[in-house]
Amino acid sequence: MKQQRRSVLIVGGGIGGLTAAVALCRRGHAVEVVEQQPGWPAVGWGLSLTGPALRALDSIGLAQQCMDAGYPMRGIRNCDTAGNVLHEIEPPSLLGPGRPVIVGLGRPALSRVLRTAAESAGALLSTDAELVDLTFRADDVRAVLGDGTERIVDLVVGADGVGSRTRSLIGIDGKPSFLGQYVWRTMVERPDWATCTHTFNAPRHASGLTPISPEHAYIFSTQNVAQVSHLSGEALLAEFREVLAPLEGWMAGARDAVDDPDAIVRRPVLGLLVDGPWHRDRAILIGDAVHTCAPHMISGAALAIEDAVLLAEHLDGPGPLEEALSSFGRRRLPRAKIVVEASSTMSGLEREHRYAEEHVVQEAAFAALAKDA
Ligand SMILES: Cc1cc2nc3c(=O)[nH]c(=O)nc-3n(C[C@H](O)[C@H](O)[C@H](O)COP(=O)(O)OP(=O)(O)OC[C@H]3O[C@@H](n4cnc5c(N)ncnc54)[C@H](O)[C@@H]3O)c2cc1C
């Protein structure tokens, strides 16, 4: 049967939206991505792409480009505050023997790889373009943007993150919950010993270092707090130093050298899982819009990337659109549950400083995620 080529509006030019643009264009669909920010967002310095993310990127020909733009690694080294190794995790290699297991990558670099691939596959990418309204009609959907222009398309993909406007416009419930931690990031020069992610488990907060290129790495911390608060300027800097206070050796020197509050990213850790249909009529949600997790499993981006690639596959099926969207959601929900639940369990264990148990949960979840998406 001849496959149906559709017009698709993707809301959100983050990791999920741009990956979906590549995957859908490669299958012949006509795609526009609208991103509300004036430029391409890449907040948070860097991230880790785990095996499932690399496997899904490999299926659309982009894993090698991410490795070239980032820092390929074999695993995670869990240490005490002085850097003595207590435990090592080497997740299963999903790209095959001898190939990297995880890649640390700058967010701007990942965004560039995805944008270049999306544009060369034929996607139209627009910034300063915010979705503000959606109306389902008999044979299509009408989307209205902030500048008053409209798009009439066959399908809207809401890849607009944890606060998804698409989600509320189509009436799918989802309220993220605060998980009692803040996550911190800042960029530093990569020391020679940082050839993989290191965590440093302190009595109060966990911190670590992830290389993202031969030159750079980012420091990360998760801080246990009672409630959401706002911090900026000198207060932000002082709090970050306090969180990193127990670290010794090279990390202590790096902590003392951090002097620019604008270079520090601080975000509340949120959790969300939409445990029902991820679509309504001609609109479907992917990525953080339906599953947001604590960063402990370093797998939120992996889920968004897998969603994007598998949605494109499902749309190639011979049945009606409704069937494709339903079967996509049914297939993805159990996998999202693995990550959201493991991340939340890890976050809870970390709040109680039960690091050894946290590593066991992480290894088990990595093994579960090694199975086909
Ligand atoms: C500090 C931190 C560290 C993390 N580290 C990792 C890691 O190491 N590994 C990992 O796999 N995951 C990590 N994650 C999770 C990962 O970043 C997310 O899961 C991933 O970015 C989700 O991608 P997304 O495309 O669904 O959403 P987002 O990346 O949030 O993109 C959504 C986009 O939609 C746009 N948008 C929103 N509303 C509208 C609208 N109405 N119209 C148009 N555009 C709109 C936004 O501006 C945004 O650009 C981390 C998250 C945080 C907060």
Classify residue 221: in a domain, yes or no: no
Atom nearest to 287 CA in ligand 1? 26
Whether residue 63 is contained in a domain is answered as yes
pLDDT single digits (tens) 301-359 = 999 999 999 999 999 978 899 999 999 999 999 999 999 999 999 989 988 889 999 99
Asked whether 275 lines ligand 1 (CB < 6 A), one says no
DSSP string spanning 66-98? HHHHSEEES-EEEE-TT--EEEEE----SS-TT
| Closest residue to atom 51 of ligand 1, CA basis | 295
| Separation of alpha carbons 350 and 355, rounded Å | 6
Beta bridge partners of 276: none
Evaluate: CB of 305 within 6 angstroms of ligand 1: no
Q: Cβ(16) to ligand 1 under 6 A?
A: yes
Say which residue the tokens 């959907």 belong to: 141
183 in contact with ligand 1, CB cutoff 6 A: yes
* pTM of the predicted model as reported, rounded to 2 decimal places: 0.96
Number of domains in the chain: 1
- Which pLDDT value is given to residue 353? 87
Phi-psi region of 31 (alpha: psi -120 to 50; beta: other; left: phi over 0): beta
Query: Does 255 fall in a domain?
Result: no
Beta-strand runs (E) in the chain:
7-11, 30-34, 46-49, 71-73, 76-79, 85-89, 102-106, 124-126, 131-136, 141-145, 150-153, 155-158, 177-189, 197-201, 206-211, 216-224, 265-273, 279-280, 283-285, 291-292
263 in a domain, yes or no?
Answer: no
Across 51-65, average pLDDT: 97
Tokens of 72: 């390929």
Quickly tell me which residue has 């070239």 as its tokens.
68
Instruction: Report the DSSP beta bridge partners of residue 189.
Output: 216
Per-residue CA distances from 315 to 3, 29, 214 (Å): 9, 10, 39
Query: Does the pLDDT at position 2 exceed 60?
Result: no
The percentage of residues in the chain with a pLDDT greater than 90, rounded to a whole number, is 90
Residue ranges making up the domain that contains 291: 7-74+104-176+270-353+364-370
CA distances from 363 to 161, 220, 232, 296, 357 (A): 27, 20, 36, 12, 10
| Ligand 1 contacts CB of residue 13 (under 6 A) | yes
159 lines ligand 1 (CB under 6 A): yes
Please state, rounded to an integer, the average pLDDT across all residues of the chain: 95
DSSP 104-116: EEEHHHHHHHHHH
pLDDT tens track for 187-212: 999 999 999 999 999 888 899 999 99
Amino acid at 353: H
Which tokens go with 358? 């946290």
Number of the ligand 1 atom closest to the C-alpha atom of 41 = 49
| 336 inside domain | yes
Q: Residue 213 to residues 11, 51, 56, 194, 353: CA-CA distances in angstroms? A: 30, 18, 21, 11, 30
Q: Is residue 207 part of a domain?
A: no
Select from 15, 228, 267 the residue to mutate for testing ligand 1; criterion: most ligand atoms less than 8 Å from CB: 15
- 210 in ligand 1 pocket by Cβ < 6 Å? no
Mutate to test the pocket of ligand 1, among 43, 47, 169 (most ligand atoms within 8 A of CB): 47
Q: Say if ligand 1 is within 6 A of residue 161 CB.
A: yes
- The CA distances from residue 212 to 6, 24, 108, in Å, are 37, 28, 11
Residue 260 lies in a domain: no
CATH number at residue 331: 3.50.50.60
